[in-house]
Structure 1
Amino acid sequence: MTNTKLNVLFKKMQKDDKKEVLEFHVQGNELPNTQELVGLAGSIVILNVDESKAGTFNAEFVSVQKDSKKTTLKFNIKGDSDDKVIKLYPHAGKSVTLFMEPSQMSVDDFYDEEEYEGIEYKIDKDGTANVVPDQMSLDEEGQGQDEPEEKDDDPFATTASDDDLLD
């Protein structure tokens, strides 16, 4: 599935301490790409509400619920997207155009709170990666450090020879 465009009612936004819950309703029985939407549920998608200036953001596609009058789409957005989410508030309760496409991010990555510093690099047109030259490599990490002294844990070991002790 590449990019799905849906005309939806932006039903509600609800915020808790870690995430923002967005709920959209598709009116009627006909839902385009139903199988693909069901397949995306439970994964991370890239969302864009066309009428807002929020841009795109990653969201967990929590569920698709269908009844006789409507189909409900629920999404979770992490709190680190607050500046974008604020731009969605004026559109809650109105009909909007929702663009959605699958993301390569996993749910575990989406909710991973621990940030880590990676290695900066650039990919050339031929597909090779070039690391920024100022970064330390693993080879450099081990250089310049003294080898740890070997510690003899034998309490009976002596520095004198056995012959010296007998005299």
Structure 2
Amino acid sequence: MPKVELDVLFKKIQKDDKKEVLEFHILGDEVKYKSELIGMAGSIVIIEIGDVKLSAEMKSLQRDSKKVVLKFEAKGDSEEKTIQLYPKAGFNIKLLLEQSQMSIEDIDDGEDHEGIKYTVNGDGTTEVVEQMNMEDVAQKENEDDLLD
């Protein structure tokens, strides 16, 4: 899918502890690339604003009588990149959108871990390798008390 270039109002960036949401408004009655935008909804896109490129999930596309609202959730390693966008919020900008080849499952949220080693018994129960039990915790607390 080719790049979509839109003139938009960069309404806001909203950050909480889990996500960053970028909101853009297309003002006016005539919206170019309607079908392309509808096709991008719910998928991962590459957002390009000036020299900043980042991956984001297109969360929603809402239309009312005065505007079209595009909402994106930044994905992956985009924190440093979104910081560069804060000065552009509140201004009219050129927004380039391109369908990503990635799926939502491909995005690395930095939560990789090796997992927990375990064994499955014949009766279907599991035992976690090197897991502490309550006796180990009580013994450790008693040792810590002796050191104080």
Instruction: Give TM-score scaled by structure 2 length.
Output: 0.71
Structure 1: unaligned runs, 5 residues or longer: 118-167
**Could you say what the CA RMSD is over the residues aligned between the two structures, in angstroms?**
1.9
2:8·2:92 contact (CA, 8 Å) conserved in 1?
yes
Q: Which runs of 4+ in 1 moved over 3 A?
A: 111-117
Secondary structure of the corresponding residue to residue 80 of structure 1 = coil
Corresponding residue number in structure 2 for 1:46: 46
Separation in 2, partners of 1:48, 1:116: 31
2:55·2:76 contact (CA, 8 Å) conserved in 1?
no
Deviations 1:59-92, CA, capped at 9 Å, x for gaps: 0011110011000000000373111111100010
The yes-or-no answer on 1:76 pairing with 2:84 is no
Separation in 2, partners of 1:14, 1:100: 20
Counterparts of 1:77-116 in structure 2, within 5 Å, are: 77-78=74-75, 80-110=77-107, 113-115=110-112
Separation in 2, partners of 1:108, 1:22: 21
Structure 2: unaligned runs, 5 residues or longer: 115-148
Corresponding residue number in structure 1 for 2:2: 2
Distance change >3 Å, CA 81–CA 47, structure 1 → 2? same
Larger Rg: 1
How many residues matched?
A: 114
Tell me which protein shows more strand as a share of its residues: 2
Instruction: Give TM-score scaled by structure 1 length.
Output: 0.63
**Percent of aligned pairs with the same amino acid:** 54
